[in-house]
Amino acid sequence: MIVNRESRHYTGDARAWVGKYRNLTNLPHWHSDAEIVYAEQGNAVVTIDGKNFALSRGNAVFIGSSLVHQIRADEGSLLAFFIFDNSLVEKIIGGKRLSSPLLSRDYDLPALHARMEEELEAGTRLDALSVNNRIERLVIEIFRGETSHLSEREENYMDARYKRLLRDIDENFSDYTVTDAAQFLALSESYFSKFFRQMADMTFTQYLNLVRAEKAVEMIRKHDKTMTEIAISCGFGSIRNFNRVFKHITGYSPRDLPPTYSPLDMHPTYGVERTFDPTSADAILLTAQTK
């Protein structure tokens, strides 16, 4: 069976999502986010890297970043989900892996889920930061309370190369080209374009413009360069092209950028429904964020 990569992008400053599924069954898939699944009602079997873990009411599993997993829940079951950007907890985890994904206690997950759902629905910047903080504290408690060990799992070769490519683009964005990117991965340009779109859910040009716009926001905030100098430094070539692309991405001209504008706002805000969705048609999503 083909294992697909699910993509999730977050809205604003919040780097987490919570929701509940009734009658959930999905296909084997993976994503760079980490995930906690809590059985609120009924039973389910969660398969993680080929091993089965039985969930009954009150049980939870921790699914680390990039692990292939699948969920098969009984009819009438209700599963609560915490899905979050792995970058929030990378330093906390420190390369470790839980000896068993099945958690030994519930870590007050029902109350935490309800509180985070309220904060995400409120949608303010402070609420978003509180959500991120709650995830960090939760993962700290889990890795304090559970047995863990250093992970020996090797990252997928192309996924690792893709991440190194993103770092290379971030460091050399001003004059980077699709030819440079394809050569970095030792791929033909046509194959690279298909590969990059599959991984990033956008074209290489769209991604490069996002990086350049982010760098431009940083330079504008420093107030030490003219707009023409920023346009050239960021690789836009001309002030006209800079103004056009920047406004398309941010909604503002460079000169009218509000002081409160967050670079996170320029990223696409799509969920799994616009990429690969592993969820069965019978599953019912219950979350305040979709009301």
Please give the share of the chain, as a percent, with pLDDT higher than 90. Answer: 59
Kindly give the confidence (pLDDT) of every residue in the chain, 291 residues in length, as a single tens digit, with 9 standing for 90 and above: 334 455 666 778 899 999 999 999 887 777 879 999 999 999 999 998 878 999 999 999 999 987 878 899 999 999 999 999 998 999 999 889 999 999 999 899 999 999 999 999 999 999 999 999 999 999 999 999 999 988 765 556 676 788 788 889 989 999 999 999 999 988 889 989 988 887 776 899 998 998 999 899 989 988 889 999 999 999 999 999 999 999 999 999 999 999 888 665 665 433 333 344 556 666 787 765 543
Amino acid 72: pLDDT: 92
Residue 54 and residue 35 in one domain:
yes
Residue 138 and residue 227 in one domain:
no
Residue 69 and residue 177 in one domain:
no
Please write the tens of the pLDDT for every residue from 62-73: 999 878 788 999
Number of compact structural domains in the chain: 2
Q: Where are the alpha helices (DSSP H) in the chain?
A: 90-93, 109-122, 125-145, 157-171, 178-184, 189-200, 204-222, 227-233, 239-250
CATH number at residue 216: 1.10.10.60
Amino acid 50: pLDDT: 79
Mutual angle of helices 204-222 and 189-200, in 10-degree steps: 70
Residue 125 and residue 45 in one domain:
yes
Residue 76 and residue 203 in one domain:
no
Residue 171 and residue 37 in one domain:
no
Residue 200 and residue 73 in one domain:
no
Contact 269, 276 (CB under 8 A): no
Residue 110 and residue 181 in one domain:
no
Q: Tell me the residue range of the domain where 186 lies.
A: 157-266
Residue 147, Cα to own-chain centre: how many angstroms? 26
Residue 140 and residue 121 in one domain:
yes
267-271-277 Cα angle (round to 5):
140
Residue 136 and residue 261 in one domain:
no
Residue 103 and residue 78 in one domain:
yes
CATH number at residue 101: 2.60.120.280
Amino acid 265: pLDDT: 60
Is the entire prediction scored with pTM above 0.75?
A: no
Residue 104 and residue 166 in one domain:
no
Amino acid 274: pLDDT: 38
Distance CA 250, CA 205 (A): 16
Amino acid 169: pLDDT: 92
